[in-house]
Amino acid sequence: MTDVFADLKGEELVRFHDERLGDKPHPVSGTPRFAEGVWQAVEDNHRFNARLWEEEELARRRDVPDAEIAANKRNIDRLNQGRNDSVERIDEMLAGRIGPPGHPGARLHSETPGMMIDRLSILSLKIRAMGAQSSRQDATAEHRSTCAAKLKRLLEQRGDLRHCLDELLADCARGTARFKVYRQFKMYNDPSLNPHLAGKPAS
């Protein structure tokens, strides 16, 4: 049986996420590597997550005017929408490779592959940041030790998650598992659903 997901393995995803972060001050910047297909959606998702990480850090500042924090919050909202859209594109493309479930009794998996890939992306950001903290020479030995323990747990979590993703995709290819492409329906970004965006008082 042909492996319809041969190009999308957990190990390769982890390597891609780490390589695109690297040690650059602005991770996942520069020319996109993929121009189309599921890997383009994976790359877009990773870029949105990296930019969200930066904006979330900036939004915690206490030494800047409130207007700057408000700008950060609006950026976070916009980037989150892009992140959610990229997860849905991943799922749409993967679902298209499978077609209908092969067996009527195929189990429905509550978490989609796109959601799992999104989590792997976020874990790569956490691992990068925790790794930097665990080797800080200006920090105490206790701080480095605590962060090293957290880093070990994060690496374990990522390893488990990538294996779970591989197993889910393999089961979907065999027809023994399935997933649905869910929509986030972010109501607060829609003027027809958020009365504050439409200029109307909330009921």
Question: Cβ atoms within 10 A of the Cβ of 155, count?
Answer: 16
Q: What is the pLDDT along the chain (203 residues), one digit of tens a residue?
A: 568 899 999 999 999 999 998 766 556 666 778 878 999 999 999 999 999 999 999 999 999 998 999 999 999 999 999 999 999 999 999 999 987 765 678 899 999 999 999 999 999 999 999 999 999 999 999 999 999 999 999 999 999 999 999 999 999 998 899 999 887 666 666 677 677 666 655 55
Cα angle 155, 170, 106 (rounded to 5 degrees) comes to 120
- Between the two ends of the chain, the Cα-to-Cα distance in Å is 56
Inter-CA distances, 105 with 72, 90, 99, 112, 119, Å = 47, 24, 15, 18, 28
Cβ(45)–Cβ(87) under 8 Å?
yes
pLDDT at 62: 92
pLDDT at 51: 93
pLDDT at 183: 75
How far apart are alpha carbons 70 and 54 in whole angstroms? 15
Inter-CA distances, 45 with 83, 99, 135, Å = 5, 24, 28
What backbone torsions phi and psi does residue 108 show, to the nearest 5 degrees? -90, 120
* pTM beyond 0.85: yes
- Retrieve residue 53's tokens: 């990480």
